[in-house]
Amino acid sequence: MRKLHMWPSETCGAVQIIGRDMREKKVEQYDVVIIGGGASGLTAAIYCGRARLNTLLIEKSLMGGLATYTNEIENYPGFPEGIGGLALMELFHKQAKKFDVKFKLTDVKSVDFEGDVKKVETFRNIFECKAVIVGSGGRPRTTGATNEEKYLFDKGISFCATCDAAANTDKTVMVIGSGDAAIEEGMFLTRFAKKVIVSVIHDVGKMDANEIAREQALGNPKMEFMWNTVVDSFEGGEQLETVNLKNLKTGEILPVVVDSCFEFIGYEPNTEIFKEKLNMSKRDYIITNEVMETGVPGVYACGDVREKELKQISTAVGDGAIAGVEAEKYIAETEVFANQIMQKERIGMIYVYSAIDAPSREMLPMMQEIEAAYGDQVKLSVIDQYKGQRLCDRLACDVDPMTIFYTEDGEVVEISSECDRPSIFDMLNKLVAKPIEQTA
Partner 1 sequence: MQEVMLDCLGEACPIPLVKAQKKLEELAVGDVLIVQIDHSCAMKNLPEWAREAGHNVEIEEVDDGEWEVVIEKVK
Which residues are near ligand FAD by CB under 6 A? Answer: 35-41, 58-61, 65-67, 69-70, 73, 75-76, 107-108, 135-138, 181, 185, 270, 273, 303-304, 311-314, 316
Q: Which of residues 14, 166, 310, 433 is near partner 1 by CB under 8 A?
A: 166
Size of the site for partner 1 (CB under 8 A): 29
Options 61-69, 245-253, 333-341, 390-398: segment touching partner 1 (CB under 8 A)? 61-69
CB of 367 to partner 1, least distance (A): 55
Strand partners, 350: 381, 405
CB of 183 to ligand FAD, least distance (A): 11
Report what 131 binds from ligand FAD, partner 1, none; CB cut-off 5-8 Å by kind.
Answer: none
Report what 36 binds from partner 1, ligand FAD, none; CB cut-off 5-8 Å by kind.
Answer: ligand FAD
Is residue 21 within 8 Å of residue 123, measured between CB atoms? no
CB of 17 to partner 1, least distance (A): 13
SS3 content of the chain, % helix, strand, coil (to 5): 35, 25, 40
Q: Which residues, 6 or more positions from 334, have their beta carbon under 8 angstroms from its beta carbon?
A: 116, 130, 298
User: Quick check: 167 binds partner 1 (CB under 8 A)?
Assistant: yes
Is residue 277 within 8 Å of residue 294, measured between CB atoms? no
Of residues 139 and 387, the one with the C-beta less far from partner 1: 139
Q: Hey, what amino acid is at 328?
A: E
Q: What part of residues 105-164 is at the interface with partner 1 (CB under 8 A)?
A: 105-107, 122-124, 153-154, 160, 162-164
Options 100-108, 172-180, 298-306, 382-390: segment touching partner 1 (CB under 8 A)? 100-108
Task: Quote the CA–CA distance of 419 and 366 in Å, as a whole number.
Answer: 10
Is residue 83 within 8 Å of residue 76, measured between CB atoms? yes
Distance of CA 56 to the CA centre of its chain: 13
User: Quick check: 50 binds partner 1 (CB under 8 A)?
Assistant: no
Q: Would you give the end-to-end CA distance of the chain in angstroms?
A: 77
Length in residues, the chain: 440
Q: Which residues, 6 or more positions from 345, have their beta carbon under 8 angstroms from its beta carbon?
A: 379
Q: Which residues, 6 or more positions from 440, have their beta carbon under 8 angstroms from its beta carbon?
A: none
Provide the binding-site residues for partner 1, judged by CB under 8 A: 1-3, 6-7, 10, 20, 60-63, 68-69, 86, 103, 105-107, 122-124, 153-154, 160, 162-164, 166-167
